[in-house]
C-alpha cells in the first residue's frame, strides 16, 4: 500500500494534529538535523551558529523563566548538567508555543506525508546513535579494562558509574556483544522493510542502557531516555498493526509507504543513503579501527617503568595525609599515587598524574593532565635495578626523597577467568 504524495488520504482528529505539531517541533529541536554534518567544512558553520543561538536562547529562558540555576553548567562529559535540564525545558516550551502558533495558521486536514518524513528523521537519528555507540564497543573503546590504578583501588571507593564502566570493560566479548546488538539495530533501521524490527531491537537496547544509567547514576539519563522514547515512537506508528498481530490474533495489512513520484527523487534518496553509510558507518568504523589497531603514540613508549610500587621511604617536611603510600606506573606515561595531595587529580582516593621524563638528565616531570605544558614539579630519579626507583627533588619547595620498590601485586580480577565447570560460587 502506498500513499500518493499529491492526494490527501484522510482527515486527522484535532488531537492528533496538535500532538504531531508539538512532536515535530520538539523532535527537530532535539535531533538538530542541520548539525549532523558538522564535520564537513562550510556546512559546519550552520551547526556552529545554530548552537550559539540555541545556547543564548536557553540561557535567556533560564534566567527569566526556568531559574534552574543562576549560572548553568554547560554540557560536558555529563549530559545531565543544569544546562541540559534548562535545554530540555526550553525545547518543551518552544514546542508548546510553536504548536499553538502553527495551529492558528495551518488548516490542512492531515499530515500523512509530513508524519512519514518525521518518522524517517527519527529512524535515522536513532540509527546514528546506535552506530555511534555500537561501533566503538565493537573495538572495546567505550569501556576499558580496569587499569592497574583501578585494580589497586578498594571497591568501596568507586562511584556507581565507574563500577558499571569497569563491569562492562572487564569483558571484551560482552562489550563486543552489546555493541553488535546496537549496530544490528542501526542496520535494521536503515531499511523500510526491516525498520519495525529495528525499532524493536533499538527499544530493547536503549531500555537496558536507560535503566543502567538511572540505576548506576550514569550522567546520560536524559539522552538515553530520549533514545528509548524515540524507538517507541517508531513502534507507535505501527501500533495498530502490531496489536493485531501480537495481541488480537488478527490479520494485518502492510504499512503505508510514501512513493516518490519522480526519478530524480528516487536517485537523490539512494545518493543520500550512500552518503549516510559513508559518514555514519564507514568513517566511524575506520576511525575506531585506527584507534584500536593503528600505530600508537610514539611518545607513549618513552616511559620510566611499569608496575605497582610500595613506598619504602618518604623523607621530607610533608604532612602525613600528603605522603605517598604506593605508586602505580601504568604501561603508558601515566599513573597514580595513594595520597590525598590535591596537587594531583584526585579520583577515588588516589592522585592521578601524567609524566614526561628525560633519560639523559635522569629527571621525571609530574603533570596533572597530559596536555599540561607546565609540570607540577620535577624530581630526579635513580634506578639501581628494575625493581627499585629513588626519587629526589622538591615538592611545594620542600625537599623530598622517595624510595620505591616494585611489588609482585596479584590482582585476581586481571586474570579474566572463565570456567565451564564450577563446583561452588567463587
- Judging by beta carbons within 10 Å of its beta carbon (0-12, 13-18, 19+), is residue 86 exposed, middle or buried? buried
Look at residues 78, 110, 74, 95 and name the one whose alpha carbon lies nearest to residue 29. 95
- Pick the range with the lowest mean pLDDT from 86-100, 291-305, 368-382: 291-305
Mean pLDDT of the chain: 90
Q: What percent of the chain has pLDDT over 90?
A: 69
pLDDT band at 235 (very low <50, low <70, confident <90, very high): very high
Q: What is the mean pLDDT of residues 79-83?
A: 95
Q: Is the pLDDT of residue 73 over 80?
A: yes
Per-residue pLDDT tens over the stretch 336-361: 999 999 999 999 999 999 999 898 99
Per-residue pLDDT tens over the stretch 268-299: 888 888 988 998 999 999 999 999 888 765 44
Per-residue pLDDT tens over the stretch 185-208: 999 999 988 999 999 999 999 999
Per-residue pLDDT tens over the stretch 37-49: 776 777 778 888 8
Helix (H) or strand (E) holding 209: helix 195-215
Is residue 340 a contact partner of residue 352, using CB atoms and an 8 Å limit?
no
Q: What percent of the chain has pLDDT over 70?
A: 96
Q: Tell me, which fold does domain 300-408 have in CATH?
A: Lipocalin (2.40.128)
Is residue 370 a contact partner of residue 359, using CB atoms and an 8 Å limit?
no
Look at residues 141, 166, 168, 77 and name the one whose alpha carbon lies nearest to residue 285. 141
DSSP state of 190: T
Chain CA centroid to CA 157, Å: 23
Look at residues 58, 139, 65, 64 and name the one whose alpha carbon lies nearest to residue 91. 58
Look at residues 70, 77, 412 and name the one whose alpha carbon lies nearest to residue 220. 77
Instruction: Give, in order, the Cα–Cα distances in Å from 107 to each of 14, 20, 28, 210.
Output: 10, 14, 21, 38
Amino acid at each position: 500500500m502506498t500513499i500518493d504524495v499529491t492526494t490527501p488520504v484522510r482527515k486527522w482528529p484535532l488531537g492528533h494534529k496538535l500532538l504531531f505539531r508539538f512532536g515535530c517541533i520538539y523532535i527537530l529541536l532535539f535531533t538538530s538535523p542541520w548539525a549532523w554534518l558538522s564535520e564537513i567544512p562550510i556546512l559546519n558553520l550552520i551547526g556552529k551558529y545554530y548552537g550559539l543561538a540555541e545556547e543564548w536562547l536557553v540561557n535567556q529562558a533560564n534566567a527569566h523563566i526556568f531559574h534552574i540555576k543562576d549560572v548553568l553548567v554547560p554540557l560536558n562529559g555529563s549530559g545531565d548538567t543544569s544546562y541540559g535540564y534548562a535545554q530540555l525545558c526550553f525545547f518543551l516550551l518552544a514546542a508548546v508555543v510553536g504548536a499553538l502558533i502553527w495551529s492558528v495558521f495551518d488548516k490542512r486536514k492531515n499530515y500523512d506525508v509530513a508524519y512519514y518524513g518525521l518518522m524517517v528523521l527519527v529512524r535515522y537519528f536513532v540509527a546514528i546513535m546506535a552506530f555511534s555507540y555500537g561501533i566503538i564497543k565493537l573495538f572495546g573503546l567505550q569501556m576499558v579494562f580496569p587499569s592497574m590504578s583501578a585494580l589497586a583501588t578498594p571497591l568501596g571507593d568507586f562511584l556507581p558509574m565507574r563500577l558499571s564502566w569497569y563491569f562492562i570493560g572487564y569483558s571484551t566479548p560482552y562489550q563486543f556483544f552489546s555493541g553488535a546488538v546496537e549496530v544490528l539495530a542501526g542496520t535494521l533501521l536503515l531499511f523500510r522493510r526491516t525498520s519495525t524490527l529495528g525499532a524493536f531491537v533499538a527499544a530493547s537496547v536503549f531500555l537496558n542502557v536507560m535503566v543502567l544509567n538511572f540505576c548506576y547514576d550514569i550522567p546520560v539519563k536524559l539522552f538515553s531516555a530520549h533514545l528509548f522514547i524515540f524507538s517507541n515512537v517508531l513502534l507507535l506508528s505501527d501500533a495498530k498493526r502490531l496489536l493485531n498481530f501480537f495481541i488480537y490474533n488478527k490479520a494485518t495489512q502492510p504499512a503505508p509507504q510514501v512513493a516518490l513520484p519522480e526519478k530524480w527523487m528516487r536517485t537523490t534518496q539512494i545518493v543520500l543513503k550512500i552518503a549516510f553509510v559513508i559518514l555514519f558507518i564507514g568513517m566511524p568504523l575506520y576511525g575506531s579501527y585506527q584507534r584500536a589497531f593503528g600505530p600508537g603514540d610514539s611518545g607513549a613508549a618513552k616511559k620510566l617503568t611499569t608496575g605497582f610500587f610500595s613506598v619504602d621511604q618518604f623523607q621530607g617536611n610533608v604532612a602525613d595525609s600528603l605522603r605517598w603510600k604506593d605508586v602505580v606506573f601504568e604501561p603508558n606515561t601515566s599513573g597514580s599515587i595513594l595520597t590525598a595531595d590535591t596537587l594531583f587529580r584526585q579520583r577515588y582516593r588516589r592522585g592521578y598524574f601524567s609524566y614526561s621524563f628525560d633519560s639523559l638528565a635522569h629527571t621525571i616531570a609530574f603533570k596533572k593532565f597530559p596536555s599540561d605544558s607546565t609540570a607540577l614539579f620535577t624530581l630526579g630519579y635513580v634506578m639501581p635495578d628494575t625493581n627499585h626507583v629513588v626519587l629526589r627533588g622538591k615538592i611545594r619547595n620542600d625537599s623530598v626523597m622517595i624510595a620505591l620498590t616494585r611489588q609482585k601485586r596479584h590482582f585476581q580480577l586481571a586474570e579474566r577467568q572463565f570456567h565451564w565447570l564450577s563446583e561452588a560460587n567463587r
